Homo-oligomer: A and B are copies of this chain.
Amino acid sequence: MSAYCLATYRSFDEKADFHKKATGIAVGLTVGSWTELPEAQKAQMEKHLGKVIAVEVHEPGPGEPITTRYADITIAYPDVNFSRDIPALLVTVFGKLSMDGKIKLIDLKFSTDFLAGFPGPKFGMQGVRDLLGVHDRPLLMSIFKSVVGYELPALREQFYLQAAGGVDLIKDDEILFENPLTPLEKRIEICMEAAEQASRETGQMLLYAVNLTGPTSKLASQAKKAISAGANALLFNVLAYGFDVLHELSADPEITIPIMAHPAMAGATYPSPHYGISPSVLLGKLMRLAGADLVLFPSPYGSVVMPREENLAIKHVLLTNDLHADYSYQASADAHLKLAASFPVPSAGIHPGLVPLILRDFGQDVIVNAGGGIHGHPLGTIAGGRAFRQAIDATLQGIQLRDYAQTHPELQSAIDTWGIRE
């Protein structure tokens, strides 16, 4: 099966013959027609024909409405039919089909040959840890609060306060575009300067993910301009540009810093049970395939909520090697085709009292990411960063936050403000 990519759909229909529907997809999205072809032509077309791999029908249970009737359908698409890029794959497996009733793309698995076209994350989780020199704990990231309309000194101050609290990464606001007040190169210059100042005090490294924006054809040169100006990471609104743009940026040998994928616009595609693309595909497999070193997604803990099982599914596909259509391949030693893991960054609504929960779900392979939970700390932004680092230290040592807080006033103040969720 290694010459096929697999797509799994959840198809809702009150009365469809789902097996017939599956055959219709396998034929319709590949060779167009089959049973009516002359035998000679069948022999020639066979290698282009899609195959039905599985049809699992879920009839409504007692008391459930007929509208809940669905099937999970898996189709194998011969990879000879499409070129080695994400647009070709997506248009093949979900181009026309996305418009054909209640149907959601819930999984993709890639052939070894297709995967070979994708170098994957250049740094990945391990590479980001190496850059920071931190291997023994989850990382901590801080989000700029809105700095639209800010001038450089105010931006610098906010940056410094975040950095001085001991965060490992700071990301630009994703709605900060090229603008006359804080243009890319100036922003990098003053923020990296603030990072150095903080570093002298905290003794730790920091990555600043600067927002890469503007016309698509200029993004690579913008990225290189950012690197020349001293940037050590990039933030990118992948879904507003397309996965292929990320793929080309991440594969560019001159872009020598990690790329952080922002999920802006993702909510237009993943939340409906009936339409769109599941989070583990949209913010998981496709982001990693396209080469995101770090991937932000809505956490199940805070204000912008994604169900916990969907978060764990994203984590699974960012970290493990479960991308291959050829199952036997996964166990093979052919390591050069194993993509580096993308660092999971569950985001939104995070405060220090959630750290034990986050680490229970993600272990150490996670970046704890906060905005309001740092800037909104009653003792200020620096204390906000410290409270998170204390919560992480406590959790790693197996100490209850409440106990650790007795000797750590920043954590105590955070708990008094936001509580602890266990």
Check A29 against B87 for contact (C-beta < 8 Å): no
User: A29-B175, A91-B175, A276-B268 are known contacts. Are A148 and B48 too (CB-CB below 8 A)?
Assistant: yes
Check A100 against B48 for contact (C-beta < 8 Å): no
CB-defined interface of A127-158 with B at 8 Å, one 1/0 digit per residue? 00000000000000000011111000000000
Q: Which 6 A-B pairs have the closest CB atoms?
A: A32-B146, A95-B264, A98-B267, A99-B267, A48-B149, A87-B240
User: A82-B177, A83-B214 are known contacts. Are A91 and B30 too (CB-CB below 8 A)?
Assistant: no
- A59 located at the interface, meaning its Cβ lies under 8 Å from any Cβ of chain B in the complex: no
Shortest C-beta distance, A237 to chain B (Å), equals 5
Count of identical protomers in the assembly: 2
Interface on A for B, CB 8 Å cutoff? Answer: 28-33, 44-45, 47-48, 80-83, 85-88, 90-92, 94-100, 102-103, 105, 145-149, 174-175, 177-179, 213-217, 220, 237, 240-242, 244-245, 247-248, 262-269, 271-272, 274-277, 298, 303-304, 306, 348
Check A31 against B83 for contact (C-beta < 8 Å): no
Shortest C-beta distance, A155 to chain B (Å), equals 13
Check B98 against A146 for contact (C-beta < 8 Å): no
Shortest C-beta distance, A369 to chain B (Å), equals 13
Which residue from chain B places its CB closest to the CB of A32 in the assembled complex?
B146
Residues of B within 8 A of A298 (CB): 99
- List 27 A-B residue pairs with CB atoms under 8 Å apart, sorted by A's residue number: A31-B149, A33-B145, A48-B148, A81-B177, A87-B216, A87-B240, A87-B241, A88-B213, A88-B240, A91-B265, A94-B267, A95-B175, A95-B240, A98-B265, A98-B266, A99-B271, A215-B244, A215-B248, A216-B244, A217-B220, A240-B242, A242-B242, A268-B269, A268-B275, A269-B275, A271-B275, A272-B276
Q: How far is the CA of A266 from the CA of B94 in the complex (A)?
A: 9
Of A216, A217, A245, A275, chain B has the most CB atoms within 10 Å of the CB of A216
Q: How far is the CA of A371 from the CA of B95 in the complex (A)?
A: 16
Check B99 against A304 for contact (C-beta < 8 Å): yes
Residues of B within 8 A of A30 (CB): 146, 148
Q: How far is the CA of A230 from the CA of B359 in the complex (A)?
A: 60
Residues of B within 8 A of A103 (CB): 267
Check A178 against B83 for contact (C-beta < 8 Å): yes
Q: How far is the CA of A47 from the CA of B328 in the complex (A)?
A: 59
Residues of B within 8 A of A45 (CB): 149
Residues of B within 8 A of A33 (CB): 145-146
Q: How far is the CA of A100 from the CA of B83 in the complex (A)?
A: 35
User: A215-B248, A276-B276 are known contacts. Are A267 and B97 too (CB-CB below 8 A)?
Assistant: yes
Residues of B within 8 A of A213 (CB): 83, 85, 87-88
Residues of B within 8 A of A306 (CB): 99
Shortest C-beta distance, A198 to chain B (Å), equals 22
Of A96, A220, A276, chain B has the most CB atoms within 10 Å of the CB of A96
User: A83-B177, A244-B216, A274-B272 are known contacts. Are A265 and B149 too (CB-CB below 8 A)?
Assistant: no
Among B91, B98, B240, B348, point to the contact of A174 (Cβ < 8 A): B91
Of A148, A220, A237, chain B has the most CB atoms within 10 Å of the CB of A148
Q: How far is the CA of A242 from the CA of B95 in the complex (A)?
A: 14
Q: How far is the CA of A92 from the CA of B45 in the complex (A)?
A: 47
Check B94 against A268 for contact (C-beta < 8 Å): yes
Check B266 against A99 for contact (C-beta < 8 Å): yes
